[in-house]
Amino acid sequence: MTSAITRRTALAAGLAGSLGAWAMRAQAAPGGSITVANWGGDWNDRTMRLFETPLVESQGITIVRDLGMEPERKAKMLAERRLRRGTYDVAHLNGSDAFEMAHNDVLADLDLGKLPNYADVVGTLKSPYFVPWLYSGVVIMSNAQKVPQPPKSYADLWDPKWRGRLGLTNQLYFNYMMMGAMVAGTGVMVGEPAMAKLLELKRTVAPKIYATHQALQAGLANGEVDVAVNYKARGLQWVNDGLPLSVQYPAEGAISVVFGACLPKRASNPEAAYFYLNAMLDRKAMADLAGASFYAPANTKASLSPELRTRIDFTADEQAKLKQPDYDHVAKNTAAWLEWWNKNVAV
């Protein structure tokens, strides 16, 4: 009897030891190399400095960065979805693009057991295939020294007094399409009324179109334009950089935008990708990113000061008025919108 108990005890101890060792291995960085698709510019600079280098590369994972715009990123993933292995292990996307890629069978459903930090994500931002990271809203910003009475709504931007003074960026074309829809009275559902409104804006106001956020910032700094439409986070960044901007939440409600990352089904190193995705949601890293970028963090337990949270987040009333894109509608039409924008507005 004693012998049987001893054997069982030894077996149990051995099994517990094996499970303990497995758990330790599961928590350790798996190593190897991952290719991460992301935007470039200051967005990538912050990503590297505050998250990737200290939390991922320091653990022995090599990051190969493929930087560019999301249309090219999506096209590559779509082209590779039937291959055994794709280029990307992690793809940074906004919420709309993530929805589109998931419904085109490009993204893996997340194993939340490998993402313990996901439990702290804002409930309304969660989805089966998307790790939300940072979010903001599309607002109006203006030079406080030159615009004593700034526009208070999207609709105000159609006033001819802003002719030649309004700056937009190609990076937000889909948001401007939705803005046109809201002014046309069709909510965020883009169709002919929205396109007609944007053509009217082009005729009446002749907005200057910039290639990137950074180029728009330069246009505001050098006086080429006095009013712009961009993410609240960008406006706060530019104020922090010294621009005398006022930031106005539009009367209609701001169009919501969420940024995060996904795991492509054809990832070559999914275990290292999971380590990366979980590290994205690290409480301190998210607080540091929020402080540097002025985007609100998706992790509810990010250690923000009350002053910073008040500055970068939205009031309860503004939260209630945030306009969520219809992701299904966007996914079905975004390629056609981009083509239309490039031919009719960006030129």
Tell me if residue 79 falls in helix, strand or coil: helix
**The pLDDT of residue 6:** 37
Q: Using CA atoms, how far apart are residues 108 and 114, in angstroms rounded to an integer?
A: 13
Read off the CATH number of the domain in which 236 is found: 3.40.190.10
**The pLDDT of residue 303:** 85
CA-derived radius of gyration, the chain: 23
Q: In this structure, are 140 and 252 located in the same domain? A: yes
Mean pLDDT for 203-218 is: 96
Q: In this structure, are 233 and 244 located in the same domain? A: yes
Q: In this structure, are 193 and 173 located in the same domain? A: yes
Cβ-Cβ contacts under 8 Å for 272 (sequence gap 6 or more): 29, 30, 31, 32, 33, 34, 61, 89
Q: 27-36, 102-111, 299-308: lowest mean pLDDT where?
A: 27-36
Q: In this structure, are 210 and 339 located in the same domain? A: yes
User: Residue 233 is encoded by which pair of tokens?
Assistant: 């986070």
Q: 117-144 burial by CB neighbour count: b if 16+ within 10 A, else e?
A: bbeebeeebebebbbbbbbbbbbbbbbe
Q: In this structure, are 286 and 174 located in the same domain? A: no
Interval 21-64: pLDDT, tens: 333 234 467 889 999 999 998 899 999 999 999 999 999 999 99
pLDDT higher than 90, residue 132:
yes
Contact assessment for residue 64 and residue 117, using Cβ atoms and an 8 Å cutoff = no
Q: In this structure, are 173 and 236 located in the same domain? A: yes
Q: Using CA atoms, how far apart are residues 169 and 68, in angstroms rounded to an integer?
A: 15
Q: How many domains does the chain have?
A: 2
Mean pLDDT for 225-251 is: 96
In a domain, residue 2? The reply is no
Q: Report the alpha-carbon angle 228-230-231, nearest 5.
A: 150
Contact assessment for residue 50 and residue 289, using Cβ atoms and an 8 Å cutoff = yes
Q: In this structure, are 125 and 231 located in the same domain? A: no
Compute, in degrees rounded to 10, the torsion defined by CA atoms 43, 47, 49, 51: 160
Looking at every residue in the chain, the average pLDDT score rounds to 90
pLDDT higher than 50, residue 248:
yes
**The pLDDT of residue 28:** 67
* Domain that includes residue 118, residue range: 10-135+258-314
Q: In this structure, are 238 and 140 located in the same domain? A: yes
Cβ-Cβ contacts under 8 Å for 69 (sequence gap 6 or more): 39, 171
The 10 Å Cβ neighbour count of residue 58 is 10
Q: Using CA atoms, how far apart are residues 288 and 339, in angstroms rounded to an integer?
A: 37
Q: 210-214, 240-244, 314-318: lowest mean pLDDT where?
A: 314-318
In a domain, residue 1? The reply is no
In a domain, residue 127? The reply is yes
Q: Report the alpha-carbon angle 294-298-302, nearest 5.
A: 75
Mean pLDDT for 302-311 is: 89
In a domain, residue 3? The reply is no
